[in-house]
Amino acid sequence: MKHANISIFVPHVGCPNQCSFCNQRSISGVQTVPDAAFVTKTCKDALKNLGEHSAEAEIAFFGGSFTAINRELMVSLLEAAFAYVQNGSFKGIRVSTRPDAINDEILSLLRRYGVTAIELGAQSMDDEVLRKNLRGHTAQDVINASHLIQQHDFELGLQMMVGLYGDTPETALQTAKKLIALRPQTVRIYPTVVIKHTMLAELYEQGAYTPISVQEAVQISAKLLELFESSGIRVIRLGLHASDLLEHDLLAGGYHPAMRELCEAELFAKSIFTVIKQHNIPQGDICIKIPKGCISKAIGQHKSNLKALLNCGYRAKFIEDGTLTGYNCIIQQQSKEVEHCI
């Protein structure tokens, strides 16, 4: 079974400031703050839907800096969730928070209530980018919090954004390398979107900020996806969750409801055309072997890669090969067979 989160969003409570990009109610699609009763109902509903697979799922508190919210509210939410961890219904609890809202006392409390994984919203490891986007913490805060989380034996997750105000592909790449050095188990990559009623929206409307386009987001995010995966780090989310509220409030930026699929198609295209170029494969009919379960990704959304190959004179057929992994491919043409490994 694919990993599942029982997601409970806590929109914009506890945050000490308003970041440039943040309108949590639009991003999460949630308008109200949950209470213990809501957590209990969510867990009961998830048990019915997941059945025997529930024991592999985590209850996840996402949204507004969980460890910075009112302590009484935080404990009440944890208590309601922990009851389902104690009885074996779910395997643990995952929370997301700010790097400057972590200390030994908080980590001890989270451990007491069954939290197993903590995700930090790093967003950037460039202090100037953090300052321009009103994050209120530094890159060193990310490093300190990450080390503290690891010392307390929690699973560490890190979240980064690309295309922030003042960000460039180069600073995003440097952020990824610095996050890799912290050895997290998981990473989330979020291309920046401009949402109504945010500082970025004001800068965009004034012409002071040029948002990242979808194509630019795909290009840089695909590079980051490849970099993290080649370092043994799971990318558990790429792009914001689709929601009617988000799409209603969206003004511009790198949003696509299938962002990860676009990035994976980009990496398969890179692999395929690298083989063609390196081995001077002549135009004509080719058979492309790709890893099992990846045919739709390799063909691309709306058959984009298939069409790109045809435009270059290649009539391609895709087949699965259980010996291949990642974005590797083997191209056959008559008796010739060549392989590309990433």
Of the pLDDT bands very low, low, confident and very high (cuts 50, 70, 90), residue 63 is confident
Burial group, residue 151, by CB count within 10 angstroms (0-12, 13-18, 19+): exposed
Average of per-residue pLDDT across 331-335: 81
Burial group, residue 104, by CB count within 10 angstroms (0-12, 13-18, 19+): exposed
CB proximity list for 101: less than 8 A, separation 6 or greater: 14, 65, 67, 68
pLDDT (tens digit per residue) in 21-34: 987 555 544 567 89
pLDDT score, position 1: 45
**pTM (predicted TM-score):** 0.91
CATH number belonging to domain 5-257: 3.20.20.70
Question: What is d(CA 201, CA 121) in angstroms, rounded to the nearest whole number?
Answer: 21
How is the beta sheet containing 115-123 ordered, strand by strand? 5-10, 58-63, 92-97, 115-123, 155-162, 186-191, 234-238
Q: Where are the domains of the chain?
A: 5-257, 271-340
pLDDT (tens digit per residue) in 162-207: 999 999 999 999 999 999 999 999 999 999 999 999 999 999 999 9
In the predicted model, what is the mean pLDDT of the chain?
92
pLDDT score, position 24: 58
pLDDT score, position 17: 73
Of the pLDDT bands very low, low, confident and very high (cuts 50, 70, 90), residue 12 is low
Question: What is d(CA 142, CA 212) in angstroms, rounded to the nearest whole number?
Answer: 24
Of the pLDDT bands very low, low, confident and very high (cuts 50, 70, 90), residue 339 is low
Dihedral of alpha carbons 240, 246, 252, 255, sign: positive
pLDDT score, position 82: 97
Listed in sequence order, the DSSP H helices in the chain are: 24-28, 36-50, 71-86, 104-112, 127-132, 139-151, 169-181, 199-206, 214-230, 244-249, 259-278, 295-299, 304-311
